[in-house]
Structure 1
Amino acid sequence: MHKNKSNTELNSKLDAVSIALKQSIKNLDSYTHVRGESLYVDDVNVRQGTLHAVVFDSRKAHGKIKSIDYSKAEALDGVERIFTYKDIPGENEIGGIIRDEPLFAENEVHFWGMPIALIIAESEFIARKARNLIEIDIQELPVITTAKQAKAKGSFINAPRSFSLGDTENTFKDCEYIYEGETFSNGQEHLYIEAQGAYAEPLENGNIKITSSTQGPTAVQKTTANVLGLAMHKIEVDVTRLGGGFGGKEDQATPWAVMAALATYHLNQSVKLILNRHDDLHMTGKRHPYESTYKIGLSKDLKILAYEAEFLQNSGAAADLSPAIAERTLFHATNSYYIPNVKTMVLSCKTNLPPNTAFRGFGGPQGMYVIESAIAKAASEIGVTSREIQEINLLDENDTFSYGQIAKKVEAKNTWDSAKSLFSSDALEHDVEEFNKNNTSFKKGIAFMPICFGISFTNTSMNHARALVHIYLDGSVGISTAAVEMGQGVNTKMMQIAAQVFSIPIEKIKIETTNTTRVANTSPSAASSTADLNGKATLMACNSLLKRLKLVASEDLNTKPEHIELKDEFIYINDKKSELSWTELISSAMLKRVALTENAHYATPEIHFDKTKEKGHPFAYHVYGTAITTVTLDCTRGTYEFDWVKIVHDYGKSMSEGIDLGQVEGALAQGIGWMTMEEIAYNDEGRLLSNALSTYKIPDIFSVPKDVEVIPVETKGHELAILKSKAVGEPPLMYGIGAYFAIQNAMMAFNPNYDLKFHAPMTPEKVLMGLHNK
């Protein structure tokens, strides 16, 4: 690992860490997960007298509230109280980036599902019964449901953003080929297994503790304090783990925690608020739908010389995280390609849908889908394969991104060439061609999907984290960080770091819950940066403790600290085992009054971005990869099966190959779902139609690829990744985009007159109509 001021003696040895240890570590939460013993918000042991909450929400997408009658609901036996905006002691505001989102509607509603009141009762059943007794009269106003409608009406969240490089206008004049088109990518429901929820309980002196299912404990703490008119230190937020998040609990877990705390504040009683699945589906935002246009220009030898795109982001009724997501769309608008002349613009369009929010990839997938569509269009018109255009335009070392960052340690061609070689891509393409020649009712399609995804929060100030590490008298270790475990195995990785630094069994290490009183002022667990930021902080804390312990050991063993090494729970001097054990060393340190607690802070170096110039170096590093996808299409029914997806992925130097492989496979399935079957549907009145698993289809065992093969690319890793192990949460989702184009290629094999469509997801219904398009 690259040496720096924060990582001292251990760094020279990190590359020699046992590969066997890395490969043997599995997600340590798996054992309790499969036994049903893992704890979530709904598993909290509630205090005596705990009350239950249900949200009363709007059943109109836009309108003025003329009257509300709560009398029948309030009279129902078991109803404690109903809270509205009038009961808020602080501000009725939960917006983060832009303060444009009330906790409760006041005089007007802006989306179907907008919270109006909170019903508190002795049981959830009573609260739901009371909700049906509330009478409300809403004067309906015009409803906007699409980004195009919003643009036509001038309805925007904020000012547009634009990135540029070179001179597209003049370059297009010199292009041999120029093509324009439109694309649409739909939203996507997070469908985390654990629905949104929180449990608030009163503590002494007016303090409140909230157990929340959130990716952002500090956001919950800060917003709750603001709504209640309290100082942040009065609010404690605790998170054990999430039953899935995918971005849907980064900002959108906040209102439910705030509501529960509001009721606790007034009633001085514990309150539990857990949304049921239907409420969760229609009250929360999704991945942003995008309606986009593009213009692409190529030279005669298929070099992309110029590219322009306008992205219309359907933000919903409030900003939420839309501005940041829009920004990341621009950052990833050219995917894994070097294009010398680029002009891209994104408009965050205000509509009457629930505020759309973070979703794995955070706007990057929407941008990458458009450039891939433009390449597919150009390839079809020119009469070549998309692969030929993709391959000739891949990023190389020292190429410039449209936002000014210079590409370093580029693995784009490495992963591409490795995939072609390892998977014999020429033979694969030949097999597809032969199959299509010999079959009429079934056709195969193949597609290549390179990815390039930047790692860091694009808001530079969010790239920091803290860790608190205790070594106890018996040699066991406790670690607190801001990392929220939500199935990605980050707890296991934090334990691995401490185990490697101290050379003790992982069983001696405990990860504490994520708690704002132990680790304060944190960034959310998002942007694929959780392991890097919190892992680096943990490494720094452990290294500081290690330095102290080596000094103690050198005194006890009458040698120099630089001769000391910890190995397998014993102290070694110049590679020779001494009689001093780990536990004895800790006892000696305590007798000498040496601090066995360390609090470390890590801030990602080098990164910066100037929004006034739209230029900078926003990412610590990029993750690369290449996927090859093959599909078999039933041309009679319009149904399809993915035969296999073969991937060469840039893990860096993986800390835990099993955990990282699981992330790749899960992200791939989620990406395929977004591109092929997960179709969000609202009617013209703004009501969610895909409001149940009977009307919203996600990938199951029958719809995922029959075979997924993932091979790590040979690479040196990156020093800004924790232990050179690159982030893996979001990048693999974009491999799923290849599924869309594999299906299109199979359709063209059946119907040469098929006119390429770029309207995702590519459902069997769309396939069937396209197959017989004349």
Structure 2
Amino acid sequence: MNQNVAPKLLAAQDWKAVGIGSKHESATLHVLGQATYTDDIPELHGTLHAALGLSSKAHARITAMDLAPVLAASGVVAVYTASDITGTNDCGPIIHDDPILSTGEVLYVGQPIFIVVADSHDNARRAARLARIDYEELPAIFTPQQAKAAQQYVLPPMQLQRGDFKAAFDSAPNVVRGQLFVGGQEQFYLEGQIAYATPKEDQAMLVQCSTQHPSEMQHVVAHALGIHAHKVQVECRRMGGGFGGKESQSALWAASAAIAASRLRRPVKLRADRDDDMLVTGKRHCFYYEYEVGFDAEGRILAARVDMTLRAGFSADLSGPVATRAVCHFDNAYYLSDVDIRAACGKTNTQSNTAFRGFGGPQGAIAIEYVIDEIARQLGRDALDIRRLNFYGKTERNVTPYGQEIVDNVIDALTAELEQSSEYRARRSAIEAYNRTSPVLKKGLALTPLKFGIAFNVTHLNQAGALVHVYVDGSVLVNHGGTEMGQGINTKVMQVVAHELGLDLEHVRITATDTSKVANTSATAASTGADLNGKAAQDAARQIRERLTAFAIKLYGDEDGLPVQFFDNAVLVNGHRLAFAELVQKAYLARVQLWSDGFYATPGLHWDAKTMSGHPFSYYAYGAAVSEVVVDTLTGEWKLLRADALYDAGNSLNPAIDKGQVEGAFIQGMGWLTTEQLWWNAAGKLMTHAPSTYKIPGISDCPQDFRVELFQNRNVEDSIHRSKAVGEPPLLLPFSVFFAIRDAISSVGGHRVQPPLNAPATSEEILRAISAVQMAA
């Protein structure tokens, strides 16, 4: 073996493309304004624009409808109703109860009734408002409490039981009981819903849309047009945000554009105005809870019952899986021996709520955190001590209520690290001293943990495919079934492929997600995007590397006994170092296959929906956060002074992207729990349907002192490079903000009264809770 190879061996051992903070693959394009979103695609000659005609009633029968004024409006080409749909008039993802266009009965304010197509976006929108529609109004239900009272559900209620709750509760020396309401949340992506449909030859259809689930859009469009799936191609290069609302609900927009394009044989674009988008589409489910929990003198939970009612909206959509995940996350980081966990999807005459970052997990977990907060206050203890007392154990007290054994528990060590790094105990003492001398401004502090299961809770969705092409110049093109919504999945998949082939990222490129390239894909959701698609792309790249390895050995032999190594854009084989591109060129001439498909299915998953038991998650992600707030008790205004977050990303594929995801999730979750209030008027119309009436966090709401770190860990499961998901779990971290606000309010009554604080904790809600504490104290 040549002596000059030794330094290269060291380089090969040290070289890597994963685990480093590579910039987002589209970062430069984003900054320069050159990244192409659906609305940026150059419009073909003859492109028309569509808008939807919407219901003005929450629940009514349409008794008469005159669309002549719409058709006569400036620039209008056509108007279509449900009778013009040649295929199936449905876009429900699971249960077929969600019509594309109303068939005579409207079920919420904003439900689409007709499609108007015109020569411009503005003309279509103006014309849609000219319809003359007569209604016979019917009784309507708007809140989950009303749905519960009327026993109106979109699906049968579900229940998970373990042990004997009644016996354990009856014998418990201490109890807490109460109700809680946690509101929903608007998706509010930068890019709203949009689809651009282009007819192709032989009745085929190309749909370019902003969607997290191209394969489902393919199915819905094919069914709506009455054609086979192979005639529908759906493409999505990137989204300007997609937190779940583009998983199933992009179907309405894709189908409507395709229906119009098919009828007219011309390209049709349907871009939702922000007001229409917010009025029509689903949000995070709001939850109403009734709970009762028994505990011992130390604060250990002995029995817990919770009854959760979701505001599902008018149709099922994904409410069933959302409720299931809420049930499976009620435990959060705590062992609960005897439980009775119930969830029901209340049918209301409002938008059909849908997936939203966390998918019911945050709504399930916040209930037990609220309970623990109350236990601590009742016992006069620090809530952190009660949390730690109830944590899952390493080898005992480590089985969830649904029967999955926890084998990767790091919550105690992670919490201890954060407690120390955040100076929690010293700050707690300092805040107590501050509050004693500050009659108006009150500070609060809270540390909350998280445990979040990773996998789709429908087992068959945990699969992915990918294609990897190596060209003769050594460059690589990758396509996979995941969708890029700003979260960095493409960057991570590029890193995985680059690492497998020993290349830098400049040699690897990702193309748009396309149903004609990778078929039958799952949604990019459930925090599984990088896990599934990274593994699939790794599988494809590995096959190519193995072919090149066999070819290199054939050329140069393997007398040195060392494996063929791919690193730093080169290949080392039997003492010979040659450029990757050189080996590829030689392999091409020798007719070696230089492309491959890859596939991955997460092993070991199973779930019995009837018994609500099984092994639904591949692994758990953990984290914790400490938040310190100050509240003005005269106005209800508050400020987040400092936030410390520690998150378990396993062996992070890209620490820079993962930290960004934690920061973004924290602020988004803080908005959900504090400022983002959805409000419907007495007629059932959503009044918070624009940036002027709906308050998402701004830069001024971010803490000046914001400390985010990744916990040093390694996934015990064989995930992609032993990393962990980072999409949804960090959204639970800002629970600490909500409970810090509650802690500050509690100080008004000397921590002797339970503040009745609901979410979002707006200034008005904070004042209401302060008033209740003052009266009770």
2:573 counterpart residue number: 573
Tell which deviates more after alignment, 683-692 or 460-469. Answer: 683-692
2:433 counterpart residue number: 434
For residues 389 and 14 of structure 1, the distance between their equivalents in structure 2, rounded to whole angstroms, comes to 50
1:162-173 equivalent positions in 2, closer than 5 A: 162-173=159-170
8 Å contact from structure 1 (residues 182, 758) kept in 2: no
1:7 counterpart residue number: none
Letter in 2 for 1:199: Y
1:8 counterpart residue number: none
2:749 counterpart residue number: 751
List per-residue Cα deviations over 1:458-504 (Å, max 9, x = no partner): 00010000011100111100000011000101110011011111111
8 Å contact from structure 1 (residues 754, 771) kept in 2: no
For residues 510 and 356 of structure 2, the distance between their equivalents in structure 1, rounded to whole angstroms, comes to 26
Letter in 2 for 1:645: A
Deviation at 1:391, TM superposition (A): 1.1
List per-residue Cα deviations over 1:362-407 (Å, max 9, x = no partner): 0011111111111122222222222221110111224110111001
Q: 1:641 to 1:18 in 2, by over 3 A?
A: farther
Tell which deviates more after alignment, 166-175 or 324-333. Answer: 166-175
1:479 counterpart residue number: 478
2:718 aligned with 1:720, yes or no?
yes
1:301-320 equivalent positions in 2, closer than 5 A: 301-320=298-317
What is the aligned counterpart of 2:33 among 25, 31, 36?
A: 36
Normalising by structure 2, what TM-score?
0.96
For residues 384 and 279 of structure 1, the distance between their equivalents in structure 2, rounded to whole angstroms, comes to 48
For residues 596 and 462 of structure 2, the distance between their equivalents in structure 1, rounded to whole angstroms, comes to 20
Deviation at 1:712, TM superposition (A): 2.0
Tell which deviates more after alignment, 739-748 or 454-463. Answer: 739-748
Q: 1:580 to 1:714 in 2, by over 3 A?
A: closer
Q: Please state whether the residue corresponding to 2:699 is helix, strand or coil.
A: coil
Q: Please state whether the residue corresponding to 2:175 is helix, strand or coil.
A: strand
For residues 185 and 15 of structure 1, the distance between their equivalents in structure 2, rounded to whole angstroms, comes to 52
List per-residue Cα deviations over 1:502-522 (Å, max 9, x = no partner): 111211111010000000000
What is the aligned counterpart of 2:727 among 709, 726, 729?
A: 729
1:635 counterpart residue number: 633
Q: Please state whether the residue corresponding to 1:759 is helix, strand or coil.
A: coil
Deviation at 1:17, TM superposition (A): 6.3
8 Å contact from structure 1 (residues 207, 235) kept in 2: yes
For residues 298 and 177 of structure 1, the distance between their equivalents in structure 2, rounded to whole angstroms, comes to 5
Deviation at 1:676, TM superposition (A): 0.6
Q: Please state whether the residue corresponding to 1:540 is helix, strand or coil.
A: helix
Q: Please state whether the residue corresponding to 1:670 is helix, strand or coil.
A: helix
Letter in 2 for 1:707: D
Deviation at 1:649, TM superposition (A): 1.2
2:132 aligned with 1:135, yes or no?
yes
Tell which deviates more after alignment, 411-420 or 512-521. Answer: 411-420
Q: 1:594 to 1:20 in 2, by over 3 A?
A: closer
- Give percent identity, aligned residues only: 38
8 Å contact from structure 2 (residues 318, 355) kept in 1: yes
1:54-203 equivalent positions in 2, closer than 5 A: 54-203=51-200
Q: Please state whether the residue corresponding to 2:700 is helix, strand or coil.
A: coil
For residues 406 and 516 of structure 1, the distance between their equivalents in structure 2, rounded to whole angstroms, comes to 37
For residues 511 and 250 of structure 1, the distance between their equivalents in structure 2, rounded to whole angstroms, comes to 21
8 Å contact from structure 2 (residues 757, 766) kept in 1: no
For residues 583 and 714 of structure 1, the distance between their equivalents in structure 2, rounded to whole angstroms, comes to 36
List per-residue Cα deviations over 1:408-463 (Å, max 9, x = no partner): 11111111111112222211212212222232221110011100000000000100
2:216 counterpart residue number: 219
8 Å contact from structure 2 (residues 659, 710) kept in 1: no
2:491 aligned with 1:492, yes or no?
yes
Deviation at 1:636, TM superposition (A): 2.8
2:7 counterpart residue number: none
For residues 491 and 110 of structure 2, the distance between their equivalents in structure 1, rounded to whole angstroms, comes to 37
For residues 136 and 629 of structure 1, the distance between their equivalents in structure 2, rounded to whole angstroms, comes to 52
1:664 counterpart residue number: 662
For residues 252 and 27 of structure 1, the distance between their equivalents in structure 2, rounded to whole angstroms, comes to 27
1:283-294 equivalent positions in 2, closer than 5 A: 283-294=280-291
For residues 603 and 579 of structure 1, the distance between their equivalents in structure 2, rounded to whole angstroms, comes to 36
For residues 14 and 367 of structure 2, the distance between their equivalents in structure 1, rounded to whole angstroms, comes to 42
For residues 579 and 411 of structure 1, the distance between their equivalents in structure 2, rounded to whole angstroms, comes to 43
8 Å contact from structure 2 (residues 17, 498) kept in 1: no
What is the aligned counterpart of 2:334 among 322, 334, 337?
A: 337
Letter in 1 for 2:567: K
1:660-699 equivalent positions in 2, closer than 5 A: 660-699=658-697
Q: 1:582 to 1:16 in 2, by over 3 A?
A: closer
Letter in 1 for 2:543: S
Which consecutive residues of structure 2, in runs of 5 or more, have no partner in the other structure? Answer: 1-9
8 Å contact from structure 2 (residues 17, 504) kept in 1: no
Letter in 1 for 2:408: K
Deviation at 1:768, TM superposition (A): 2.3
1:770 counterpart residue number: 769
What value does the CA root-mean-square deviation take over the aligned residues?
1.6
Deviation at 1:77, TM superposition (A): 3.9
Letter in 2 for 1:312: T
8 Å contact from structure 1 (residues 14, 723) kept in 2: no
Q: 1:120 to 1:14 in 2, by over 3 A?
A: farther
8 Å contact from structure 2 (residues 12, 567) kept in 1: no
For residues 698 and 682 of structure 2, the distance between their equivalents in structure 1, rounded to whole angstroms, comes to 30
1:367-766 equivalent positions in 2, closer than 5 A: 367-398=364-395, 399-559=398-558, 563-573=563-573, 576=575, 578-752=576-750, 755-766=754-765
1:5 counterpart residue number: none
Tell which deviates more after alignment, 441-450 or 462-471. Answer: 441-450
Deviation at 1:21, TM superposition (A): 6.1
Letter in 1 for 2:488: G
Normalising by structure 1, what TM-score?
0.96
1:218-297 equivalent positions in 2, closer than 5 A: 218-297=215-294
Q: Please state whether the residue corresponding to 2:694 is helix, strand or coil.
A: coil
8 Å contact from structure 1 (residues 198, 272) kept in 2: yes
2:202 counterpart residue number: 205
8 Å contact from structure 2 (residues 147, 346) kept in 1: yes
For residues 270 and 37 of structure 2, the distance between their equivalents in structure 1, rounded to whole angstroms, comes to 13
For residues 619 and 669 of structure 1, the distance between their equivalents in structure 2, rounded to whole angstroms, comes to 26
Which consecutive residues of structure 1, in runs of 5 or more, have no partner in the other structure? Answer: 1-12
Deviation at 1:264, TM superposition (A): 1.0
The count of residues paired between Structure 1 and Structure 2 equals: 760
Deviation at 1:770, TM superposition (A): 2.8
For residues 497 and 283 of structure 2, the distance between their equivalents in structure 1, rounded to whole angstroms, comes to 37
Deviation at 1:704, TM superposition (A): 1.8
Deviation at 1:278, TM superposition (A): 0.5
Q: 1:19 to 1:563 in 2, by over 3 A?
A: closer
8 Å contact from structure 2 (residues 110, 280) kept in 1: yes
Q: 1:54 to 1:429 in 2, by over 3 A?
A: same
8 Å contact from structure 2 (residues 243, 356) kept in 1: yes
For residues 275 and 614 of structure 1, the distance between their equivalents in structure 2, rounded to whole angstroms, comes to 39
Deviation at 1:120, TM superposition (A): 0.5
For residues 341 and 717 of structure 2, the distance between their equivalents in structure 1, rounded to whole angstroms, comes to 31
Q: 1:30 to 1:480 in 2, by over 3 A?
A: same
Letter in 1 for 2:599: H
Q: 1:16 to 1:637 in 2, by over 3 A?
A: farther
Q: 1:691 to 1:95 in 2, by over 3 A?
A: same
Q: Please state whether the residue corresponding to 1:139 is helix, strand or coil.
A: strand
List per-residue Cα deviations over 1:125-174 (Å, max 9, x = no partner): 22122222210001111110011111222211111111122111111122
For residues 289 and 409 of structure 1, the distance between their equivalents in structure 2, rounded to whole angstroms, comes to 31
Letter in 2 for 1:341: D
8 Å contact from structure 1 (residues 325, 363) kept in 2: yes
8 Å contact from structure 1 (residues 541, 600) kept in 2: yes
Deviation >6 Å, runs of 4+: 13-17
Deviation at 1:691, TM superposition (A): 1.5
Q: 1:397 to 1:282 in 2, by over 3 A?
A: same
Tell which deviates more after alignment, 48-57 or 408-417. Answer: 408-417
8 Å contact from structure 2 (residues 757, 765) kept in 1: no
Tell which deviates more after alignment, 655-664 or 127-136. Answer: 127-136
Tell which deviates more after alignment, 425-434 or 533-542. Answer: 425-434
